[in-house]
Amino acid sequence: MTVRIKFRKFGVLKFIGHLDVMRYFQKAIRRAGIDVKYSMGFSPHQLMSFAAPLGVGLLSDGEYFDLEVNSLTSSEDMKKRLNECMVEGMEILSVKLLDEKAGNAMASVQAASYTVRFYEEKLPVFSLKDAVKRLMDKDKIPVVKTTKKSTVEMDLREGIYELSADDDKKEVTMLVNASSSGNIKPNFVIKELYHEMGEVLGDFDIIITRNETYTGTLNNFVPLDFEATLF
Amino acid sequence: MNKLALSDEILLTIEKPARYIGNEVNSVKKDLSQVDVRFCMCFPDVYEIGMSHLGIQILYDMFNRFDDVWCERVYSPWVDLDAVMREKKIPLFALESQDPVKDFDFLGITIQYEMCYTNILQILDLSQIPLMACERTEEHPIVIGGGPCTYNPEPLADFFDLFYIGEGETDYRALLDLYKEYKAKGWSRKEFLLKAAQIPSIYVPSLYRVEYKEDGTIATFSPINENVPTTVKKGLVPEMDNTTYPMKPVVPYIKVTQDRVVLEIQRGCIRGCRFCQAGQIYRPVRERSAVLLKDYAKQMLTNTGHEEISLSSLSSSDYTELPELLDYLIEECNEKKINISLPSLRIDAFSLDVMSKVQDVKKSSLTFAPEAGSQRMRDVINKGLTKEVILQGAKEAFEGGWNKVKLYFMLGLPTEKEEDIRAIAELANDIAALYYDTIPKEKRNGKIQIVVSTSFFIPKPFTALQWASQNTKEDFIEKAYLTKKSVMEQLNQKSIKYNWHEADVSVMEGVFARGDRKIGKVIKRAYDMGCLYDAWGEYYKNDLWLQAFEEEGIDIGFYTTRERDLDEIFPWDFIDCGVTKEFLKREWKKAMNGEVSPNCKEKCQGCGAMRFETGICIKA
Ligand code: SF4
């Protein structure tokens, strides 16, 4: 049996990287006494799979991982037990039983939505709304993406599904591709907005919050726990 | 939300920001209005090292059990943050509250190895606390040192207000109460220090005067006030079952060196290895009962969620209830999928059986620490391990499927001759030959892999070899070369890999180990010139250290190679660690004659620790 766990990462936990978040949960699951399934062999490990790794510095209200368990109590009970051993900065939002037909968390991820805010002393000097309009009017936004192995040119526009801005709140929200093949980092999008307006985004100007992680297909994205049910 | 001392921009630019944010599972937060004393506990090395230390966890937990005290932690900022803090003049802060260390009542620094001395100055400097104790006022925290290196605190005497000598569990409460009185009554810092000197285990360096002879050795070492004791007695926990232990150790986010539950099964060691300081200063050996340890193990695993547990002691095989404890742990851990790591076990049928249950035989290696290659040399250092015992253990291990062996030795031991060094390679060769003799070709799982490692012998205070002359750097290098050459000459040389320790740093360590107050200014100068993280090979700057010694006019040989007179007054003689100088002299003479001494279980040697009336002394 696999449960899909949704959690929120906030506050100082944004400085904890993905691998350490995994280690954190392995220990938390032991503390909470969850009847988790282990691999075989001399150093058994818990069978867990995280959806979309979150970079250091990012906050999130919609993180997921799958956990294989031997037995279940109830969604409420498991959530409560896990929350009792969280630190400030981590909160379990739900524990649901995954559909047997559903793919694992990582493979399911197709899109993610983000809200981007600015440090007070780094507010943009132009209208975000105007920038968004200009960017979205384009057919193509060619950017160069550098990975460990290579640099590839890609079209950013194609992976931006929704983009909007609020000039009063100084916020940008977006829904973008988050699949393993076409993942778009939100700061890329903001950089392009600045570029459109002839400005340059600094390295430490923005605070990014991932709002939700989605599966499904374009025009029909659903939150990742859509494939799971309360028990 | 939790506040942070560092900005997001800084935290996102440096390596591993998790080192500096606190907020770990089981870290303790208290309401400031409810506490009287703020204690900042420091391990002067990087977070991953400091967080792995059991002693800090014990004291952190002990202090926080006191309602009127809030104890927090601080570690050395890594070099990247160090640069930022200096440039931006950010004061060093404690992890839990993120408040500046300089606003605390106490800064306690544990001193575990000599090569962290410049890191201590970094901590003070970044905290914006005057480096010299004599320049501190009532506004500054009381800076107190503890840990094994304080059995010779003299090189650090200028930088500390107090040293706590011995096991921290015993006398801190009295010191905290005195501190509260000092604050309530508005005493001066001097008055407080004078009164603190009267608490057992507490040493106040500024209240002692040292006079030297013309040859540089100590003429007199005496208190400057009649209320200050001439000797400082170490603190010792009388009953290991009746003391404090951290049931909820702090669980770090990032991977640290010891990422596991640690069970301290006993303190002290029955074996009087003559080079080993820990074997003397923790005398007498005291065990914790298995019943209690089982309960600790269970609670600590539940409270931390760690996936590994390990036993801590100087010699686990000597723990009387080991079979019972291990049976329990193996069963419990197997069920909960927890790894057991077993350090310092003697290789014999029992330990091999246990190891085969908890490790992957094919991947794990056997560890022997004969410390010296020849039997004569082992007798000198009183290492009661014979070649027969090693070969017997190895044979059984090979039959059990092991084929990786690690061997640890020391070079530069007193009376060492060329043949003793050659014997290291020969022993390794004999073990390899034994493997090929014991295991038929078709059953072998590849070649045998033997790793021989040597460190250089450094005489330490409160050991029988404290009178010994340490080798020069050149001697060390020559001996390592001879070892390498002898290994190459062996028939099975292809199965033997040889590693040796850095010689430069061993010389420095030797100076600090047996140094006196004159060394303080060298440490300060080296720090000012940029020495930091000396325990980290890549940051150790030998040329700067040599320059610092030269500029201060201090002769390294005086501290290392010089032969000591039997009745020389040592800088650490004012400490009563239980073991008497008379006993150590007897042992030194026996060492020179190659005579061994039985261990505490076989026959009491009258070392002096009997005065504590506990542990092995009253059992034997
Ligand atoms: S007094 Fe005897 S039994 Fe006690 S520690 Fe010393 S040698 Fe061992």
**Which CATH number goes with the domain that contains A58?**
3.30.70.580
Question: Strand B37-43 relative to strand B106-110: parallel, antiparallel, unpaired?
Answer: parallel
Token pair belonging to A226 = 């859509």
Of B112, B78, B106, whose CA–CA distance to B6 is shortest? B78
Residue from the list A44, A87, A207 with its beta carbon closest to the beta carbon of B23: A87
Residues 6+ apart with CB under 8 A from B567: none
Helix B520-528 × helix B542-551 angle, to 10°: 130
Of A220, A189, A203, A223, whose CA–CA distance to A96 is shortest? A223
Residue numbers of the domain that contains A215: 109-222
Residue linked to tokens 């032969």? B563
Contact B210, B217 (CB under 8 A): no
CA gap B290, B240 in Å, rounded: 11
Neighbour count for residue B237 (Cβ, 10 Å): 20
A13 located within any domain:
yes
A229 located within any domain:
no
d(CA B238, ligand 1 centre) in Å: 14
A230 located within any domain:
no
For ligand 1, atom 8, name the residue with the nearest CA.
B600
Q: Tell me which amino acid residue B462 is.
A: F
Evaluate the omega torsion of the peptide bond into residue B284 and state whether it is cis, within 30 degrees of 0. Answer: yes
CA gap B604, B617 in Å, rounded: 8
Q: Left (φ > 0), alpha (ψ -120 to 50) or beta: where does A216 sit?
A: left
Q: Are A100 and A123 within one domain? A: no
Neighbour count for residue B255 (Cβ, 10 Å): 11
| C-alpha separations of A40 from B83, B92, B371 in Å | 46, 46, 38
Q: Tell me which amino acid residue A170 is.
A: K
Q: Are A56 and A123 within one domain? A: no
**Greatest Cα-to-Cα distance within chain A, rounded to the nearest angstrom:** 59
Residue B607 CB less than 6 A away from ligand 1: yes
| pLDDT value of position B569 | 97
Mutate to test the interface with B, among A14, A29, A30, A56 (most CBs of B within 10 A): A30
Cβ contacts of A89 on chain B, cutoff 8 Å? 2, 23
Spans of chain B, pLDDT less than 50: none
Q: Are A202 and A120 within one domain? A: yes
Residue from the list B12, B18, B22 with its beta carbon closest to the beta carbon of A57: B12
A231 located within any domain:
no
Residue linked to tokens 């036993």? B311
Of B230, B209, B235, whose CA–CA distance to B220 is shortest? B209
Is the CB of B24 less than 8 angstroms away from the CB of A13? no
3-state secondary structure B20-49: CCCCCECCCCCCHHHCCEEEEEEECCCHHH
A11 located within any domain:
yes
Q: Which residues pair with B455 in a beta bridge?
A: B410
Is the CB of B2 less than 8 angstroms away from the CB of A43? no
Structural domain ending residue among the three candidates A46, A78, A107: A107
Contact B504, B437 (CB under 8 A): no
A227 located within any domain:
no
Residue from the list B11, B12, B359 with its beta carbon closest to the beta carbon of A42: B359
φ, ψ of residue B309 in degrees (nearest 5): -130, 145
Token pair belonging to B397 = 């291990």
Of B244, B221, B236, B37, whose CA–CA distance to B144 is shortest? B37
Q: Are A36 and A114 within one domain? A: no
Is the CB of A15 less than 8 angstroms away from the CB of B251? no
| pLDDT value of position B620 | 57
Token pair belonging to B533 = 């993280």
Q: Are A135 and A53 within one domain? A: no
Is the CB of B4 less than 8 angstroms away from the CB of A12? yes
CA gap B149, B133 in Å, rounded: 18
Q: Are A92 and A121 within one domain? A: no
Mutate to test the interface with A, among B15, B23, B336 (most CBs of A within 10 A): B23
Length of chain A in terms of residues written = 231
Token pair belonging to B188 = 């001066």
Neighbour count for residue B360 (Cβ, 10 Å): 11
Residue-by-residue DSSP string for B120-175: HHHHHHHHT--SSGGG--TTSPEEEEESGGGGS-GGGGGG-SEEE-B-TTTTHHHH
| pLDDT value of position B239 | 93
Q: Which residues pair with A215 in a beta bridge?
A: A222
Token pair belonging to A55 = 């970079």
User: Domains in chain B, start-ordered, CATH in brackets?
Assistant: 8-233 (3.40.50.280), 260-349+575-620 (3.30.750.210)
A141 located within any domain:
yes
Q: Are A77 and A12 within one domain? A: yes
φ, ψ of residue B590 in degrees (nearest 5): -60, -40
Contact B155, B117 (CB under 8 A): yes
Closest CA–CA distance from residue B567 to any residue of chain A (Å): 55
The residues on B that touch A, with CB distances below 8 Å, are 1-2, 4, 8-9, 11-13, 17-18, 21-25, 251, 253-255, 301-307, 336-337, 339, 359-360, 363
Q: Are A119 and A182 within one domain? A: yes
Spans of chain A, pLDDT less than 70: none
Q: Are A102 and A122 within one domain? A: no
Structural domain ending residue among the three candidates A107, A132, A154: A107
Pick the residue from chain B with its C-alpha nearest to A23: B253
Q: Is the pTM of this model over 0.90?
A: yes
A40 located within any domain:
yes
Contact B571, B517 (CB under 8 A): yes
CA gap B551, B558 in Å, rounded: 16
Of A121, A80, A141, A139, whose CA–CA distance to A206 is shortest? A121
Q: 3-state DSSP helix/strand/coil percent for chain A, to nearest 5?
A: 30, 35, 35
CA gap B444, B402 in Å, rounded: 10
Structural domain ending residue among the three candidates A45, A75, A107: A107
CA gap B11, A231 in Å, rounded: 41
Is the CB of B9 less than 8 angstroms away from the CB of A89? no
Q: Tell me which amino acid residue B411 is.
A: L
Model-level ipTM above the cut of 0.95: no
φ, ψ of residue A142 in degrees (nearest 5): -70, 130
Closest CA–CA distance from residue B302 to any residue of chain A (Å): 5
Q: Are A176 and A142 within one domain? A: yes
Is the CB of A44 less than 8 angstroms away from the CB of B9? no
Is the CB of A15 less than 8 angstroms away from the CB of B17? yes
Direct distance between the N- and C-terminal alpha carbons of chain A, in angstroms, rounded to an integer: 12
3-state secondary structure A103-146: CCHHHHCCEEEEEEEECHHHCCCCCHHHHHHHHHCCCCCEEEEE
Contact B234, B165 (CB under 8 A): yes
Closest CA–CA distance from residue A47 to any residue of chain B (Å): 13
Q: Are A97 and A132 within one domain? A: no
Give me the number of domains chain A comprises: 2
Direct distance between the N- and C-terminal alpha carbons of chain B, in angstroms, rounded to an integer: 57
d(CA A23, ligand 1 centre) in Å: 45
Q: Are A154 and A193 within one domain? A: yes
